[in-house]
Amino acid sequence: MCASPLSLKSRALRLLSGREHSRSELERKLQRFEEEPGSLARVLDELQSKDFINEQRVVDSVIYRRSTKLGSVRIQHELQNKGLDPDTVRSAVTALHSTEFERAREVWRKKFPQAPQDSAERARQVRFLAARGFSGDVVYRVVGRDPATE
């Protein structure tokens, strides 16, 4: 006889041991293992009551891991995809705006050794930063800067 399958709680704890997950993410990942209707909701309620599932920790974790590489737009999109409360996402992203320029400049400096020399190179650098979720005005301020004046 084969070993018994993992319980929903065991699966949830295994996922949570790797990184923070929102309740919505756990529901999506564990839904296919639910054998009895309502059992998944009960397990998640229990984990949430014991603070194993914590929305603010998910937000903090994403911001900590991603803010050095991505702009506010991409981070906001990631947080929204995790099914987090829109007000929580909005306040987290608002806090990120104050450091957007410095973060974009640092990402740009790591990738490009010098300012663009022609319009094709400028366009490439603009696309690079825009693809990472930095706002248009920040991207143009970073790429348009003259490093000799810093």
Instruction: Please state the domain extents for the chain.
Output: 9-14+23-53, 55-98, 100-149
Q: How far is CA 33 from CA 19, 22, 39, in A?
A: 20, 18, 10
Q: Residue 139 in 3-state DSSP?
A: helix
Angle, helices 72-81 vs 55-66, to 10°: value is 150
pTM: 0.82
Q: Is it the case that residue 89 has pLDDT exceeding 70? A: yes
Distance CA 2, CA 7 (A): 15
Predicted confidence band at 24 (pLDDT cuts at 50, 70, 90)? very high
Q: What backbone torsions phi and psi does residue 30 show, to the nearest 5 degrees?
A: -105, -5
